[in-house]
Amino acid sequence: MQDRQARAADLLRAAGVLPVITVRTLDEARAIADALLEGGLNTLELTLRTPVAIDALAMLKRERAGIVIGAGTVLDAGHIRASIDAGADFLVTPGTTPTLAAALAEADVPVVPGGATPTEFLALRDHGFRNCKLFPASAVGGLAMLKGLAGPLQDLRFCPTGGISEANAADFLSQPNVLCIGGSWMLDKAWIEAGDWARVRASAAGAAKIVAGVRNA
């Protein structure tokens, strides 16, 4: 567990921004991934919210060298097995029941379990997790919540997701207990539906620039 948590921390820190994507077709998955990669974001969270998600994950791992893909919206042991079999580099959950936490603790890939309250994070800590997803970040307090967690839970690091935009991304990423931020602002629904991959690519490049600006400050 300690080694896998160290790998999770390294992965999140290297990513800086984790685009959260939901795909409807394999062709859409290719186009989105290519736009993100060309914009400088090589690590993404592909949510298991559509019937093609697992196939898309496996396809991108086969076809796109250098891409790092996490399976998101992992809800149960079946999702864990299917994601790992498809080649997922890491797993992300929106929340974590005791049963799911136990299954994640046995997974042989880095995991980023989700939580929303101090009690939930304490429970995750008891399972050995040190890198967690704060979700839905803005709805549960955003920056104030992260600052509040920093005192009593000094050994935990977070990837806040939910309500993060280009406008506040740097503020979240600047928090000492934040390794990475998750978001989908670079994947505007209108751009996706119009196939405007240049806009996606430009927004991804902007997100990469935000990370570089915070890290180099």
- Residues with catalytic roles: 45, 133
- What is the C-alpha to C-alpha distance for residues 86 and 193, in angstroms, rounded to an integer? 26
Nearest to 33 by CA among 217, 212, 203, 197: 197
The CA angle 17-23-25, to the nearest 5 degrees, is 145
Q: Which residue type, as a one-letter code, is found at position 105?
A: A
- Contact indicator for 4, 36 with CB cutoff of 8 Å: no
Q: Which residue type, as a one-letter code, is found at position 162?
A: G
Separation in Å, CA 143 to CA 126, 136, 158, 167, 208: 24, 12, 12, 13, 21
Residues 6+ positions from 13 with CB-CB distance below 8 Å? 179, 180
